[in-house]
Amino acid sequence: MVNVTMADVAEKAGVSKSTVSQYLSKRYEYMSVETRKKIEQAIKELDYRPNVLARSLKQKRSSTIGVIVANIMHSFSTEICRAIEDYYQEQGMNVILCNTDEDGDKEKSYIEMLQAKQVDGMILFPTGKNKSLYKKLTKQRIPILFVDRKVEGVHTDTVVANNADAVYQAVKHLADQGHRKIAILTAPLTISSRIDRVEGFKRAVQELGLDSSRDLTINCEIGQIRGRLQSLLSREDKPTAIIAGNDLVLMEILAYIKENRIRVPEELALLVFDNIPFAHLLSPTLTTISQPSAEMGRAAGRLLHERIKAEQPSDQQPPREMTYECTLIVRESSQGGIRP
Amino acid sequence: MVNVTMADVAEKAGVSKSTVSQYLSKRYEYMSVETRKKIEQAIKELDYRPNVLARSLKQKRSSTIGVIVANIMHSFSTEICRAIEDYYQEQGMNVILCNTDEDGDKEKSYIEMLQAKQVDGMILFPTGKNKSLYKKLTKQRIPILFVDRKVEGVHTDTVVANNADAVYQAVKHLADQGHRKIAILTAPLTISSRIDRVEGFKRAVQELGLDSSRDLTINCEIGQIRGRLQSLLSREDKPTAIIAGNDLVLMEILAYIKENRIRVPEELALLVFDNIPFAHLLSPTLTTISQPSAEMGRAAGRLLHERIKAEQPSDQQPPREMTYECTLIVRESSQGGIRP
DNA sequence: TCAAACAGATAAACCGATTTAGTAAATCGG
DNA sequence: CCGATTTACTAAATCGGTTTATCTGTTTGA
């Protein structure tokens, strides 16, 4: 038999489909032990496995959620995805993974695909380029949750790191080491996490009375970082410390540093936002700002799940925004570099 | 209207469901331009989106494939997954991602879940612990494909790297640099890729007439690597070069080297199997064996897809095994280390 | 003793599409 | 002008489950 259905089981057990269905959903209340045994037996003999598509169709839920990530190659994203996946596995649910490369069109087509697939909810690293679509989703009561980035004007659950404060602490740490001229390099300020990082930077510079020249804040495409670094570091009054906005920016900076044989931290202190797997193995070891990715991923999974479960009764709680604190892990690259 | 169905569209357009269905599948043959326009209009006005679950139920295919990966945190795995995802996006299909942590039970439960979800096929990094289940799947004509690892006795499409030859070339390279005592460290030999790497190592040692002491081949759990390294390197006749079996092993080795201030490549040459994102940024830069992960992922996607499409006509081609060559990227860590 | 309650099970409707078999009207060929 | 074909469209069955209403008997309660 190619495909065993519930009808086959029912026939073999000598009962009706309805009873088999009751058995499967473990509603044994009005069922004789005898019947139960017969069904059990029939299922085993036929190696029956229910078709969840049919179930989902009727129940109007698919036990599947969609995760739309900007770039899975980013280790922070991978860690979040993994945590989400772990959470939903425990809950007996599945995760469809989608990758947008920060492309708004791809994001849109994925969202529509996931909707067509009747996912119970979506977790997204929003590109921010489809605001009206996000809003439409919330209006249609499709549970969505943003992670890593907030989107202004869209009211839904959000899980982010305290980017601003983390950078503030980082700048403070550098200032404590005697640095007065600190630069920050990030990718373009298209998403809230980057904006917040720069904001924390500016606030710290302000409050701590550091050099607040405009050109110590650089936001550009990855490909242009080398060039910007070049001009930044060839100036007379060049910065003594640099904060890399994420792991990809860091790679560029490290390459530049290696090429130009810049000594870290003696000539230039270095600090990165993001957990770098090799941070403790580089020479010098790298000071990092670590985001609690596993906790954030789990929280995202849990929060969305609560929304999904609460969807039936119309107890509409206001959107929650969870902010996770980061940890500054001080290593060699940011310590004892400059002579006051 | 909460959920627009095809019936709603049909009513609005003043035609039958059947005609709408024809329209959706672009079978315009026997349809007046007028009708077509009316349907178009109705769909737009209602913002109708077909329910793919219903479609899948009837058509007995879900346009979804399952990917079961041993450990998504492994960068090689992530790269493969990304390539698979890219491929299926282009094909208008979705990917459900599952993570097993090399746990056979998890793998089994995922396989069953995916089957229940009626996936059109599965790509797996097999743990190797569910042979009978793999066989059952192939017997049931459910298209499955193995990637990274072969499984003896299970006849299905497989995409792997030429692990043996890659290591052979690596050993040759080290021998060319004058090394006679080379060690290889890998995780336990539970999967074919690791077994093949060791085999390539042994063959090279044999053919090139290098030191073939048994204890230069170490296979142990990640947690034990430090200890094994300790005893390996405290011997009088210690090896002058080490090959790390994968990125996780490398991390342990690098940590050990850093702690014990071993100079690379002067005291010890180092070479890793796997593409390490920081390879060119470490000091010294690291010699690596790079697997063409993107090509392998795409190939896996394409091959499985061909199987899926060919499933309807009963043209059963024999299983294909695609082997991809790796590239030895020589950097500082393996060059000019020893004095003959 | 008779209606109400209950235990155990089922028939049939339903979820939202696809697909098959068929129908009515228009067109065609001889 | 009539039967055959073609065109344009539809009713109804189907996919494989869930769910609701219902249907027998058997207990129970007053």
Structure tokens, A203: 């606030």
Query: From CA A224, how far away is CA B258, in angstroms rounded?
Result: 33
Considering the domain A6-50, what is its CATH architecture?
Orthogonal Bundle (1.10)
My answer on whether omega of the bond before A265 falls inside 30° of 0, hence cis, is yes
A52 interfaces chain B, CB cutoff of 8 Å: yes
CB neighbours (10 Å) of residue B301? 29
The domain limits of chain A are 6-50, 62-161+293-324, 163-291+328-334
CB neighbours (10 Å) of residue B101? 14
**Strand C protein footprint, C-beta under 7 A:** A 14-19, 22, 30-32, 34-35, 54, 57-58, 60; B 3, 5-7, 17-18, 20-22, 24-25, 50-51, 54-55, 57-59
- Which pLDDT score, from 0 to 100, does residue B98 have? 94
Burial class (CB in 10 A: 0-12, 13-18, 19+), A262: middle
Residue pLDDT, tens place only, A256-291: 999 999 999 999 999 999 989 899 999 899 999 999
Cβ atoms of residues B95 and A96 within 8 Å: yes
**B14-20 average pLDDT score:** 92
Check whether A340 has a pLDDT greater than 50. Answer: no
Query: From CA B246, how far away is CA A87, in angstroms rounded?
Result: 28
**B229-241 average pLDDT score:** 94
- Which pLDDT score, from 0 to 100, does residue A337 have? 61
The residue written with tokens 């086959």 in the block is A8
Nucleotide closest to A30 measured between CA and C1': C8
**B109-116 average pLDDT score:** 96
The angle formed by the CA atoms of residues A332, A338 and A339, to the nearest 5 degrees, is: 135
**Extended beta strands in A105-260, E state:** 121-124, 144-147, 157-161, 182-186, 217-219, 241-244
Cβ atoms of residues B173 and B330 within 8 Å: yes
Q: Estimate in Å the CA A30 to C1' C1 gap, whole number.
A: 28
The domain over range A62-161+293-324 is classified in CATH as 3.40.50.300: no
B91 interfaces chain A, CB cutoff of 8 Å: no
Structure tokens, A51: 């078709």
Q: Estimate in Å the CA A60 to C1' C14 gap, whole number.
A: 12
Check whether A34 has a pLDDT greater than 60. Answer: yes
**Bridge partners for A323 per DSSP:** A160
First vs last C-alpha separation in chain A = 82
Nucleotide closest to A17 measured between CA and C1': C10
**Three-state DSSP state, A203:** helix
**Extended beta strands in chain A, E state:** 64-69, 94-99, 121-124, 144-147, 157-161, 182-186, 217-219, 241-244, 269-273, 287-290, 321-324, 327-329
A310 interfaces chain B, CB cutoff of 8 Å: no
- Which pLDDT score, from 0 to 100, does residue A338 have? 60
Band (A28; pLDDT cuts 50, 70, 90): confident
| Distance of alpha carbon A130 from the chain centroid | 18
DSSP B268-299: -EEEEES--TTTTTSSSPPEEEE--HHHHHHH
Band (A312; pLDDT cuts 50, 70, 90): low
Residue pLDDT, tens place only, B26-84: 888 778 888 999 999 999 999 999 999 999 999 999 999 999 999 888 889 999 999 99
Query: From CA A258, how far away is CA B282, in angstroms rounded?
Result: 9
For B88, name the nearest residue in chain A, comparing CA atoms only. Answer: A98
**Strand D protein footprint, C-beta under 7 A:** A 3-7, 17-18, 21-22, 24-25, 48, 50-51, 54-55, 57-59; B 14-19, 22, 30-32, 34-35, 54, 57-58, 60
The domain over range A163-291+328-334 is classified in CATH as 3.40.50.2300: yes
B213-220 contact pairs (CB < 8 A, 24+): B213/B181, B216/B181, B216/B182, B216/B183, B216/B184, B217/B183, B217/B184, B218/B183, B218/B184, B218/B185, B218/B186, B219/B185, B219/B186, B219/B187, B219/B188, B219/B189, B219/B194, B220/B185, B220/B187, B220/B188
Same fold, B6-50 and B62-161+293-324: no
Amino acid at B138: T
**A281 to B52: CB separation less than 8 angstroms, yes or no:** no
The residue written with tokens 């392998």 in the block is B296
Residue pLDDT, tens place only, A143-189: 999 999 999 999 999 999 999 999 999 999 999 999 999 999 999 99
For B78, name the nearest residue in chain A, comparing CA atoms only. Answer: A73
Mean pLDDT across chain A, nearest whole number? 93
B8 interfaces chain A, CB cutoff of 8 Å: no
The residue written with tokens 């792997």 in the block is B160
The residue written with tokens 């530049």 in the block is A256
**Three-state DSSP state, A183:** strand
Band (A227; pLDDT cuts 50, 70, 90): very high
Distances (CA, A) of B188 to A333, B92, B170, B271: 35, 39, 20, 19
Q: Closest to B72 (Cβ–Cβ): which among A50, A82, A110?
A: A82
Q: Give the H or E element holding residue B215.
A: none
First vs last C-alpha separation in chain B = 82
The angle formed by the CA atoms of residues A62, B307 and A112, to the nearest 5 degrees, is: 35
Check whether B328 has a pLDDT greater than 80. Answer: yes
- Which pLDDT score, from 0 to 100, does residue B340 have? 44
Query: From CA A233, how far away is CA B161, in angstroms rounded?
Result: 43
Cβ atoms of residues B170 and B327 within 8 Å: no
Which percentage of chain B shows pLDDT scores above 90? 87
Chain D: nucleotides below 7 Å from protein CB are 7-21
**A21-49 average pLDDT score:** 89
Band (A32; pLDDT cuts 50, 70, 90): confident
Residue pLDDT, tens place only, A48-103: 999 999 999 999 999 999 999 998 888 899 999 999 999 999 999 999 999 999 99
Query: From CA B305, how far away is CA A80, in angstroms rounded?
Result: 29
The residue written with tokens 């063409």 in the block is B292
Q: Estimate in Å the CA B88 to C1' C21 gap, whole number.
A: 36
Residue pLDDT, tens place only, B167-203: 999 999 999 999 999 999 999 999 999 999 999 999 9
**Three-state DSSP state, B153:** coil
